[in-house]
Amino acid sequence: MRLLLSGLVGMAFLGACASPATPTSVTSPEPGVLVVPATPDLARMPALAIRATAVTTSLQQPASVLRLSGLDAKAARAQDLALADRQVLPALRSSNGDPLRNEVFQSRPAGVGDLPPGVACAGCYRVEIYQYATNSTLTILVDPDSGPSDSYRAVVSDLRQPR
């Protein structure tokens, strides 16, 4: 056991005495630029190409949001109601009306801790929309059982929180 321990200590000591690696130099075409921007070859990365197309398409929609897919019926309805609400739509764009990149991160049943004080909503869903430009989250509480004519009542809470 002592022999093994002394061998490990000796190897660690010899490794520490080795000469340090010599740094390599990368030349940049512009002074002060540390990394040269590169455009990825989307043909070699089909998943990235699909994602880039989805983001571009979402920016051309009235609600410039990349929607969450694979949701059950209630979660999908909650997402649709949140994205169609007249209070939410302006929050998805810049102050001059340009579309901003947004993405629904979750649509799930709201827990007790998700409801603001004084709000009772047994069947509400929590829809979280992340806004890349402002690094913030728009949290909307939606009752997915609201009818299309009641969509103005669907949004119970609209809370913007910086990340």
> Looking at the domain assignment, is residue 26 inside a domain?
no
Res. 71 pLDDT band, cuts 50 70 90: very high
> Looking at the domain assignment, is residue 87 inside a domain?
yes
Taking the C-alpha atoms of residue 126 and residue 111, their distance in angstroms, rounded to an integer, is: 8
Domain carrying residue 144: 64-162
Predicted pLDDT of residue 77: 94
Domain count, the chain: 1
> Looking at the domain assignment, is residue 132 inside a domain?
yes
* Contact yes or no for 87/102 (Cβ under 8 A): no
Instruction: Summarize pLDDT for 4-47 with one digit per residue, the tens.
Output: 556 656 565 555 555 666 666 656 566 666 666 677 788 888 99
Mean pLDDT for the chain overall:
78
Please enumerate in sequence order all residues whose Cβ is within 8 A of that of 52, keeping only pairs 6 or more positions apart, or say none. 42
> Looking at the domain assignment, is residue 145 inside a domain?
yes
Q: Could you tell me the CA-to-CA distances from 131 to 26, 74, 152, 154 in Å, in that order?
A: 35, 23, 22, 21
> Looking at the domain assignment, is residue 108 inside a domain?
yes
Tokens of 153: 């009542």
**CB burial readout 143-160, b (16+ within 10 A) else e:** bbebeeeebeebbbbeee
* Contact yes or no for 106/126 (Cβ under 8 A): yes
Cα four-point dihedral sign 71, 73, 78, 83: positive
Residue of 153, 6, 20, 13 lying closest to 87 (CA atoms) = 153
Environment class of residue 76 by beta-carbon count within 10 Å: exposed (0-12), middle (13-18) or buried (19+)?
middle
Number of H helices, E strands in the chain: 4, 5
Predicted pLDDT of residue 85: 84
> Looking at the domain assignment, is residue 24 inside a domain?
no
> Looking at the domain assignment, is residue 70 inside a domain?
yes
Res. 91 pLDDT band, cuts 50 70 90: confident
Q: What is the pTM of this model?
A: 0.67
Instruction: Summarize pLDDT for 116-155 with one digit per residue, the tens.
Output: 888 778 888 999 999 998 888 888 888 888 755 444 344 4
Taking the C-alpha atoms of residue 144 and residue 80, their distance in angstroms, rounded to an integer, is: 9
pLDDT exceeds cutoff 70 at 96: yes
> Looking at the domain assignment, is residue 48 inside a domain?
no
